[in-house]
Amino acid sequence: MTSARTLAEALGLNFANLPPKQQVVAQFLARDPAFVAFASAAEVARHTGVDTATVVRTCQNLGYDGWRELHQEVKRNVNQRRTFADRVATLETPAEQLTERVFEVAANNVTATLQNLDHEALESAARAVSGANLVVVAAGGVSSGPGQYLASSLQIIGLRAVLTTGAGDAAPGIAPVRDGDVVIGISMWRYLKATVQTLEHALRTDGVTAVAITDSPVAPAAVPADHILTAQTETAGPRLGLTGIMALLEVLVARVALLDPERSRRASRAADELYFADNVLAPPKEDDERL
């Protein structure tokens, strides 16, 4: 019996130590639990290109007695997994109770993200971004908001950054990528294919660094990545919780800014001047204490 409470935790603890073929099996288990819940070990083996014995050994190396125990847990988790509709239904609780729960989960996401932060991966990613001529941020769906924040924040501190949100704009976004550039994919559960494909393209380009920012170390976006940063995305509402992801992006931008503080100050100052010169800001009230 694994000491981890869930398969996701078992994967997080043990994935890096698995042999390559078992990592393929583990990624499949994480990516398609709905299929795994009704499959046999032989069917999982067939879909992952290994033999049944490899599937069983994967289960054991993840901390389970074997396929039967892991399979029972996956079935239980699939039956308990709440859809968007299920989560919306739970909102029919007293307003005060719901408000407290949402804030509690949001705060827990930030705390858990910090506790599980891979500081070495963060430092490597920050240095790669700081030295890049171009940073492409690939983020679609619910990830597009965090993607917009990251791309614009990097621009504010003096980096050339662009955002792609899907297959349609990915090609012109990544076409200029060259040696020394960085592609960052932000991908959370449901894992849009376009983001993963953009990271895969980055790895096929010599000298380009691929960074995955996701919610699981075995998420599809984590496979084609040089550096992986994960955040917790638990939620008490109808969509994924983004507080962990946003805190992680804030940390990344702050670290990049500190690697070249003069560039950051110069670019931020120029942006401020343009904001005021172009008269794009709403005028503050005369009694605004921030003046």
Of the ranges 47-56, 95-104, 107-116, 188-197, which one carries the lowest mean pLDDT score?
95-104
pLDDT, tens only, 89-114: 555 566 677 788 889 999 999 999 99
Per-residue pLDDT at 266: 96
How big is the chain by its Cα radius of gyration, in Å?
21
Same fold for the domain at 7-79 and the one at 112-277? no
| Sheet architecture: strand order including 227-230 | 161-164, 135-138, 182-187, 209-214, 227-230
pLDDT in tens, 198-232: 999 998 999 999 999 998 877 888 878 999 999 99
pLDDT in tens, 12-32: 788 889 999 999 999 888 877
pLDDT at 82: 57
CATH number of 7-79: 1.10.10.10
The architecture of the domain spanning 112-277 is 3-Layer(aba) Sandwich (3.40)
The pTM (predicted TM-score) of the whole model is 0.76
Residues 223 and 143: their CA atoms lie apart, in Å, by: 18
The domain spans of the chain are 7-79, 112-277
